[in-house]
Amino acid sequence: MIFVLTTEPLYAFIDSHVVERKKMFPSYISSSLGIYDENFPIQYVIKSRHGKNVKCYNQLEKEILFKRNSMFLITKVQGNTIWMEEI
């Protein structure tokens, strides 16, 4: 799950994630291997293909890092949770 800071209103941000459409993230993004904080206003569930586990640098980390300009296919949106698959 990741938390994204945005100046857009919450629902406009969620609505920008359309099922069966691709979405590119121009900056690095990261995701936890579990739920990092259930109180974040947006939760991503990501199926990773190329994300890198940073545990090899710090055994306490449970984080997957995605390169800049990573592309994802939106597979499901339910409430404030967005499912994506890295492509």
Full pLDDT tens readout for the chain, 87 residues: 455 555 558 888 899 999 999 999 999 988 888 887 888 888 999 999 999 998 888 888 889 999 999 999 999 999 989 999 999
The pLDDT of residue 5 is 55
The pLDDT of residue 83 is 96
pTM score, whole prediction: 0.79
The pLDDT of residue 3 is 52
E strand intervals along the chain: 22-25, 29-32, 43-47, 52-53, 63-66, 70-78, 81-86
Phi, psi of 41 (to 5 degrees): -70, -20
The pLDDT of residue 4 is 55
DSSP assigned state of 54: G
Tokens 């974040």 — which residue? 40
The first and second tokens of residue 34, run together, are 């579990």
